[in-house]
Structure 1
Amino acid sequence: MSLTFEERKKTILERLAREERVQVVALSTDLNVSPETIRRDLDRLEKEGRLKKVYGGAVSAGMDSSEPPFLHRTQMNPAEKSSIGQLAASLVKDGETIMIDNGTTTVEVIRYLRDRSDITIVTHSVPALLLAMEVFKGRIIFAGGEVNSIQQSTTGTLAESMLQQFKVHKVFISVGGISLVEGITDYDLNEAGMSRKMMERAEEAIVLADHSKFGKTTFARISSLQDVSMIISDRGCPAEWVEHLKEREIELLIAE
């Protein structure tokens, strides 16, 4: 009895998540269907945005080399980012110090900490700083350094050396992509360096990622998945990724 498209789809996406590339011939043999059937499956999955067809097979949909400016990114998946930020904020305990990196999802955490005067926030994100100054009642520490006006953050040796002075309870990290092969990645080398330094200085490293980030690899590596304490995503998180993270004993929280 031949497998249905949904069953083949599950196998294709699971293999893509593990290896970031699939071959038509190998899939045809393993799934006991014709190469033409596999090509049609890949066509459908490409239209769904789950992969990108290449000669002889397909690769992960997300090998992106450039990131839109910060203000443009604020308009992408806003409802999901808000719900993720709210759930993340609920994990912050009284009296804790947290770091927040430069992301349109991580900045949402601040909106839900507005009444927490006993919390300290350390950030290098200008939007996070401005929002905190407007709504947050607790202590704010800004890590200054070289300013990136497009991404609206500070990076570089000065900013990283300032982060080195602190040890915090939690850091909330934004990412460009999450991959079983490459781990968590970002678009910008300097931003990746800041996120990595923040993870080094935190007891818990919590990744905030909407569903569009899974199965993607971007330019600069932040860390392996094993360095992450927890991932918070939305209800659109792909089912195969729920299983992958469970197998690797990485806690996943889904924001409603």
Structure 2
Amino acid sequence: MINIAERHQYILNKIQTDGTIDVQSLCKKLKVSSVTIRKDLKLLEDKNLLFRTHGGATLNNPYTVDKPVNEKEHLQSAEKMKIGTMAAELIEENDSIIIASGTTVLAMARCIKPKGNLTVITSALNVALELLHHNDIEIIQLGGLLRKSSSSVAGPYSDNVLGNVFCSKLYLGVDGIDLEFGLTTTNAYEAHLNRQMIDSSQKIIVLADSTKFGKRGFGRICGIEEVDHIITDSGIPEQTRKNLQSMGIKVSII
């Protein structure tokens, strides 16, 4: 049986190679109990060598923090624009859609070329302003408490409107996508509003660049199984893509 130092070295080598590790695989390989592995992971996390997750660990910090929208807009901007272009092409003639908040859905709004008359319900002020110059887009701006960091609103006023409509598609931006924990955002009020949007939509389309995978925000929106379609970039881990597709989720890569 190998000692604790050898176990720790194996774990660190494995996570450096794969990026993530899971407890059960380590138990089989190292022939120790799950309790022992979890203690090992805690010790290594205390030394800032990895981050523990549900059922394993990762090399990168899985927890997201709230950043101002003008700062996030410059992150992965090229990928967001390509994702937005593909997403906008899914809008049908005389469609009625919901657009949530976030810099990726804002990129999509900039790419919209309406076919016939389009109705857009949105919580995001910047999305509404982006669409304002289109004469054939009817915009319903949700009201509520304004979150300055995201230029979007949330609260019971928005819930009242969403409870009385049903749209063909929801275009949803998120801060984190975790196969076990689901979709998340950094704000609990926004997570609740996104949940209401899901209930008012036939199809859920998530727009997220590859840096969002394996991340978790404070507010849980829903389980990953509720998503119909994810549009992302080629940085998504291959195993993650396969796992999503095995769950019946369409994954489009720009």
Q: TM-score, normalised by structure 2?
A: 0.79
CA RMSD of aligned residues (A): 2.8
Contact 1:195 1:222 in 2 (8 A): yes
The letter for the 1-side match of 2:93 is D
2:169 and 2:202 in contact (8 A); partners too: yes
CA distance in 2, matches of 1:52, 1:253: 34
Identical aligned pairs, as a percentage? Answer: 28
Counterpart for residue 194 of structure 1: 193
Structure-1-length-normalised TM-score = 0.79
Q: For 2:161 and 2:155, how far apart are their aligned partners in 1? A: 10
Moved more, 129-138 or 199-208: 129-138
Instruction: Specify the alignment match of 2:178 in structure 1.
Output: 179
Given that 1:177 and 1:216 are in contact with CA atoms closer than 8 Å, whether structure 2 keeps it comes out as yes
- State the match for 1:36 in structure 2: none
Q: Alpha-carbon deviation of 1:150?
A: 2.4
Aligned residues, how many? 224
Matched, 1:68 2:61: no
CA contact (8 A) 1:62 1:218 kept: no
CA separation in 2, counterparts of 1:248 and 1:10? 28
Measured against aligned partners, the alpha-carbon deviations of 1:19-58 in whole angstroms (never above 9, x if no partner) come to xx5489537527xxxxxxxx9xxx9xxxxxxx96158x73
Cα separation, partners in 2 of 1:54 and 1:100, compared to 1, 3 Å? closer
1:61 deviates by 2.8
Contact 1:52/1:61, CA 8 A, preserved across alignment: no
- Cα 1:210–1:117, aligned 2, differ >3 Å: closer, same or farther? same
Letter in 1 for 2:159: E
For the structure 1 residues 181 and 11, does the alpha-carbon distance in structure 2 shift closer, same or farther, using more than 3 Å as the test?
A: farther
Q: Which has the higher contact order (CA 8 A, sep 6+)?
A: 1
Unaligned runs of at least 5 residues, structure 1: 1-7, 31-38, 44-50
Q: 1:155 to 1:228 in 2, by over 3 A?
A: same
Query: Deviation of residue 134 (structure 1)?
Result: 3.5
| Alpha-carbon contact 2:184-2:216 (below 8 Å) kept | yes
> How far apart are 1:164 and its partner, in Å?
1.4
CA distance in 2, matches of 1:24, 1:52: 19
**Alpha-carbon distance, 1:62 to partner:** 4.0
Distance change >3 Å, CA 199–CA 10, structure 1 → 2: farther
Task: Give the Cα separation in 2 of the matches to 1:118 and 1:201.
Answer: 20
Q: Which 4+ residue blocks in structure 1 deviate beyond 4 angstroms? A: 8-13, 21-25
Residue 204 of structure 2 corresponds to which residue in structure 1? 205
| Alignment CA distance shift 1:150-1:10 (3 Å) | closer
Residues 1:222 and 2:221 aligned together? yes
Residue of structure 2 in register with 1:29 after alignment: 30
CA contact (8 A) 1:156 1:190 kept: yes
Report the equivalent of 2:90.
91
Are the aligned partners of 2:178 and 2:213 in contact in 1 as well (CA < 8 Å)?
Answer: yes
Q: Counterpart of 1:194 in structure 2: which amino acid?
A: L
Partner of 1:241: 240
Gaps spanning 5+ residues in structure 2: where?
1-13, 32-39
| 1:122 matched to 2:127 | no
